[in-house]
Chain A
Amino acid sequence: MRDIISRDGTISADTWVVVPRPADGDALSIPDQPALIPADLWLAGKEHFEGRDGIGVWFDSHDEPEILDGLVNELKLIAVNFPKFSDGRGYSIARLLRERFGYQNELRAIGDVLLDQLQFMKRCGFDSYALREDKDATKAARSLSFFSQGYQAATDTDMPLFRRRAS
């Protein structure tokens, strides 16, 4: 089972399964445990999931988070997939979910998540990280804490350094 790292570097076990997008024509099969399903499929069958616990959604890096505008807080967990660690689209998706659509609940990075991305993910509003299995989760706390401040405003702070300097 994968380790889930939280913002402060603590480690817990992953209880969620990521349900892959079914091939064309196939039905979505949801296991009997907390499950993340593709966001557009959740939207399409929303009534069906109503009242059911343990359903979250995931976005792939080329997906448009705009489809959930106005609905995000109906979800307890949203995940964003990094198909490759060098694919940076997920950072923009996270900021949009948080800063534009006002998502309040847990936002998780999944996929090719490595130690050196954690600091950026944290600043863009992710609060849990499904570290790739071959990486050493005990080093995550250190990777998350190299920087004590940043220059920009992002999800973690709306005070860019130039405003903090002035106050």
Chain B
Amino acid sequence: MYVYDEHDRQIAAERVTQFRDQTERALAGELSEEEFLPLRLQNGLYVQRLAPMLRICVPYGMLRSDQLRRLARITRDYDKGYAHFTTRQNVQLNWPALEDVPDILSELAEVEMHANQTSGNCIRNTTTDQFSGVQVDEVVDPRPYCEIIRQWSTFHPEFAFLPRKFKVAVNASENTDRAAIQVHDIGLQMVRNDQGELGYRVHVGGGLGRTPMVGPVIREFLPELDLLTYLEAVLRVYNRYGRRDNKFKARIKILVKALTPEGFAEKVESEWAHIKDSPTRLTREAIERIQGYFTEPAYEAMDNASERLASQRFENRRFDQWLSHNVDSHKKPGYAIVTLTMKKTGTPPGDVSDTQLEQIAELAEAFSFGEVRVTHQQNVVLADVRQDQLFELWQQIEPMGFATANLNTLTDVICCPGGDYCALANAKSIPVAESIQRRFDDMDFLYDLGDIDLNISGCMNACGHHHVGNIGVLGVDKKGAEFYQVSLGGSSHHDATIGKILGPSFAQDDMPEVIAKIIDVYVNNRKDEEPFLETYRRIGIEPFKERVYA
């Protein structure tokens, strides 16, 4: 994992001093509410329904045990003893006091953390696949490239006041896309060309929100060293020509659409031609230096513990289920990737208490070299667990509530904070997630259904990624009452698709039944092991409509 050197430390410390000064000037009335707004947003500070909300940056989802412990302490000392993992791999505090924020930031800086650019109209935290570096099928470990982007985008002087927020995601797996790159402002797919050279396929203009869009490819192959100059060209074109007259039309996707992807690509290419060979062009040494931080931990040479696991599975059915669903294969023999699920029914998806944060820190130290990764599905990954220790780990995490063996199933819901916390919400989202989790409490049935993404957002800002859920739920306001619109067929993977709206919306109480009917149509129509999405694509939306609105 990346470790700060004296430059990073100095910049981080200077930032804390600067934000303290800005907060003091705001509290002293020297900055208007409007003037302070972008400053606090660039520091992750929203003012929300109940209190300010502080979004803490977790670069591409990586956290160390000491950082988890510090987060736990901060939630205890400055908040209500819990935090929330977000769909962009960050951590959010829901109740800090504004005047405490500078102190929280200094505490974070001590463990190399910050809240820079976690909101506001700037370049946000770069996200990636939570299995980076440990999975079998990746082209290269994408995290060093994310770190390079992090450094380049941090306090970039030209791009601090963009028309709108700007999110970059990187994926390097050939077969899956766990980072949903095609619904980001820039999505980078790492690839090798015919000559075997490393580079990126560049998608620009994806996004959710009001106008959901899958990002078109604007460059099939960008050579590895050209990353930053090309990003700078894209951002410059966006900064100059993105719409600023209407907040709802200000994302880069609207510009790409207006110019057409080809037209946009041309503008970028001609800008890039000027700066391509500028000193911002990466060097081989610079990449290798950062790669040096993401070397393999001290793995032991081991064989797969297949026999041992087989007998443990045989003796314990729940362990068996957990192993099948929450554990993934690792590139090293004898190791496994474990996902700790934060989706226990009755707890808002992604919520963790201070004690749980400390438990995760301890688990990471005991089982996974002291590091974890936050996932965009709001879970936490222990990436390097020895197979012969899986049973012991499972025994420890069961009582902690991290072993709900529902990963990627219908009840592994992605859900935004919704009306319980968020001032922008049309409707609550957490209770809907919970009622669906309660309705589908039969694990065998869930397993039989296979992987289904159910995503819930409380309004069209789409923090819960409802458009790209196989089943998406969106809170809408109908004459002052909370209603829910359902969409089907979305995907955030390589086959990224925006879901189609099923029809008129439903009352909250009806939601579990509506989902049950949708599932019913799937079960009655599926062929063999066909996943939900494939059945939907084969039979279309009509059979679902007929059943649900019958």
What is A's interface to B at a CB cutoff of 8 Å?
A: 85-89, 91-93, 95, 100, 114-117, 119-124, 136, 142, 146-154, 158-166
B11 touches A87 (CB 8 A): no
A147 touches B155 (CB 8 A): yes
Nearest residue (CB) in B for A94 is B158
B289 touches A166 (CB 8 A): yes
Nearest residue (CB) in A for B158 is A91
Chain B residues, CB < 8 A from A166: 283, 285-286, 289
B5 touches A87 (CB 8 A): no
Known: A124-B157, A154-B157, A165-B289. A88 touches B152 (CB 8 A): no
B286 touches A151 (CB 8 A): no
Nearest residue (CB) in B for A93 is B240
What mask results when residues 10 to 24 of chain B are scored 1 for a CB within 8 Å of chain A, else 0?
A: 110011011001100
Known: A120-B157, A163-B279. A86 touches B121 (CB 8 A): yes
Choose one: A87, A148, A152, A162; the contact of B282 (CB below 8 Å).
Answer: A162
B157 touches A160 (CB 8 A): no
B337 to chain A, nearest CB (A): 31
What mask results when residues 268 to 291 of chain B are scored 1 for a CB within 8 Å of chain A, else 0?
A: 000000100011101101100100
| 24 pairs, A vs B, C-beta closer than 8 Å | A86-B38, A86-B161, A88-B161, A89-B244, A92-B239, A92-B240, A100-B274, A115-B25, A119-B157, A120-B157, A120-B158, A124-B158, A146-B14, A146-B18, A147-B18, A148-B10, A148-B14, A151-B156, A152-B152, A154-B157, A160-B228, A161-B7, A162-B282, A166-B283
- A153, B154: Cα distance in complex, Å: 12
Chain A residues, CB < 8 A from B18: 146-147
A89 to chain B, nearest CB (A): 6
- A149, B328: Cα distance in complex, Å: 42
- A117, B477: Cα distance in complex, Å: 39
Chain A residues, CB < 8 A from B158: 88, 91-92, 95, 120, 124, 154
B residues 514-550 near A (Cβ < 8 Å) are none
Nearest residue (CB) in B for A158 is B279
B151 touches A161 (CB 8 A): yes
- A159, B278: Cα distance in complex, Å: 10
Known: A88-B239, A149-B11. A162 touches B283 (CB 8 A): yes
Chain A residues, CB < 8 A from B155: 147, 150-151
B290 to chain A, nearest CB (A): 8
B60 to chain A, nearest CB (A): 16
Choose one: B10, B30, B278; the contact of A136 (CB below 8 Å).
Answer: B30
| B236 in the interface (beta carbon within 8 A) | yes
- A151, B5: Cα distance in complex, Å: 13
Besides the known contacts A91-B160, A120-B160, A154-B157, 7 further A-B residue pairs in the complex with CB atoms under 8 A apart = A120-B158, A146-B21, A151-B154, A153-B280, A162-B151, A162-B286, A162-B289
Chain B residues, CB < 8 A from A154: 157-158
B239 touches A89 (CB 8 A): yes
A151 touches B151 (CB 8 A): yes
Choose one: A95, A142, A165; the contact of B21 (CB below 8 Å).
Answer: A142
Q: Which of A86, A87, A120 has the most CB of B within 10 A?
A: A86
Choose one: A88, A114, A119; the contact of B35 (CB below 8 Å).
Answer: A114
A116 touches B7 (CB 8 A): no
Q: Which of A91, A114, A117 has the most CB of B within 10 A?
A: A91
What mask results when residues 155 to 188 of chain B are scored 1 for a CB within 8 Å of chain A, else 0?
A: 1111111110000000000000000000000000
Chain B residues, CB < 8 A from A92: 158, 236, 239-240
- A160, B231: Cα distance in complex, Å: 15
| B449 in the interface (beta carbon within 8 A) | no
A155 to chain B, nearest CB (A): 8
A159 touches B279 (CB 8 A): yes
B10 touches A149 (CB 8 A): yes
B21 touches A85 (CB 8 A): no
B239 touches A91 (CB 8 A): yes
Nearest residue (CB) in A for B37 is A86
Chain A residues, CB < 8 A from B47: none
B residues 132-164 near A (Cβ < 8 Å) are 148, 151-152, 154-163
Nearest residue (CB) in B for A136 is B30
Chain A residues, CB < 8 A from B446: none
Chain A residues, CB < 8 A from B244: 87, 89
- A114, B274: Cα distance in complex, Å: 31
- A100, B232: Cα distance in complex, Å: 14
B35 touches A85 (CB 8 A): yes
B283 touches A163 (CB 8 A): yes
- A87, B239: Cα distance in complex, Å: 9
B residues 1-55 near A (Cβ < 8 Å) are 5, 7, 10-11, 14-15, 17-18, 21-22, 25, 30, 35, 38-39
Chain B residues, CB < 8 A from A159: 279
B286 touches A163 (CB 8 A): yes
- A164, B5: Cα distance in complex, Å: 13
Chain A residues, CB < 8 A from B279: 153, 158-160, 163
B residues 216-250 near A (Cβ < 8 Å) are 228, 236, 239-240, 244
Nearest residue (CB) in A for B237 is A92
Chain B residues, CB < 8 A from A161: 7, 151
B residues 186-212 near A (Cβ < 8 Å) are none
- A152, B159: Cα distance in complex, Å: 11
- A89, B239: Cα distance in complex, Å: 6
Choose one: B38, B39, B157; the contact of A91 (CB below 8 Å).
Answer: B157
Closest 7 CB pairs of A and B: A88-B161, A123-B157, A162-B286, A146-B18, A120-B157, A91-B158, A151-B151
A57 to chain B, nearest CB (A): 19
- A154, B157: Cα distance in complex, Å: 8
Chain B residues, CB < 8 A from A85: 35, 38, 161
- A161, B18: Cα distance in complex, Å: 20
Chain A residues, CB < 8 A from B228: 160
Chain B residues, CB < 8 A from A122: 157
A152 to chain B, nearest CB (A): 6
A82 to chain B, nearest CB (A): 9
Chain A residues, CB < 8 A from B157: 91, 119-124, 150, 152, 154
Chain B residues, CB < 8 A from A162: 148, 151, 282-283, 286, 289
Q: Which of B10, B39, B158, B285 has the most CB of A within 10 A?
A: B158
- A148, B15: Cα distance in complex, Å: 10
Chain B residues, CB < 8 A from A91: 157-161, 239
B154 touches A87 (CB 8 A): no
B365 to chain A, nearest CB (A): 30
Chain B residues, CB < 8 A from A158: 278-279
